[in-house]
Structure 1
């Protein structure tokens, strides 16, 4: 699996989320400072609520900036079948029902689903329960999925 394609897909999704967060932050800031948001009574909190929203959206922009930089600066390591699973590994797991699932272990933004060369790739972080089970495993190793009695096998690391 070409990890540069994975990085590009992650960055594309994060940049789209960033653009949306910037737009939302600007709209919330405009609402918070609009003349109609000035309180008419002590119980009128529209402006206050909008300012909280603007702050939250601005924090989201900041967080997305940091995630984007982490992926731009991330070293993509090439793994062999003799290497243990670690950060920047692409891993395929075989499930008992004869299906396989692909994962990429990244530093942040876990939960994204990517479509790379017609292959669905799940982005997970080292803090995810599944990643904690994977980390340190080798090609051919088996382990039990967290919270289940299901055993999976590592069939590819790159």
Structure 2
């Protein structure tokens, strides 16, 4: 796995999220300020609801900018022996199935596909992220999902 390619895919995905959020915010703002949404009486709340939506979409745009800002210094981190924020990690289960994760500062749940591998971003605040921090190659982690324990071994850190 080439970490530089993964980082480029993550950059593109973060920018795509920002673009989508901007379009949604613009649409919500236009709806909120459209003349057809002016309240005709005190029970007409369409304009108010549209304004709340516009405010939420504007916050989403701000969050996207913040995520991009948080990732930039992390993308330049040098690999270490221990998993840290900015590490690209390969885990292997008992059946030798591999899963790739990028330990990021934000945007948990974001997934990118690189050469037929899905790489999921996890944050240190997530259960998986907490378990990964400071682990080394050949360390094991156990993650319990729906009362079922899943065991993984760290096989690669980039």
TM-score (norm 1): 0.90
* Native 8 Å contact 2:140 2:151 kept in 1: yes
CA offsets 1:89-145 (integer angstroms, 9 cap, x no match): 111111112211111101111111111233221111111101111112111111211
1:90-129 → structure 2 map (5 Å cutoff): 90-129=88-127
* Native 8 Å contact 1:28 1:53 kept in 2: yes
| Alignment match, 2:15 | 15
Q: Which stretch shifts more, 83-92 or 42-51? A: 83-92
- Count of matched residue positions in the alignment of Structure 1 and Structure 2: 155
Unaligned residue ranges in structure 1 (runs of 5+): none
Quick check: which one's strand share is greater?
2
1:3-42 → structure 2 map (5 Å cutoff): 3-42=3-42
Unaligned residue ranges in structure 2 (runs of 5+): none
1:33-72 → structure 2 map (5 Å cutoff): 33-72=33-72
Aligned alpha-carbon RMSD (Å): 1.4
* Native 8 Å contact 2:22 2:61 kept in 1: yes
TM-score (norm 2): 0.90
* Structure 1 ranges of 4+ moved more than 4 A: none
* Native 8 Å contact 1:133 1:146 kept in 2: no
* Native 8 Å contact 1:130 1:146 kept in 2: no
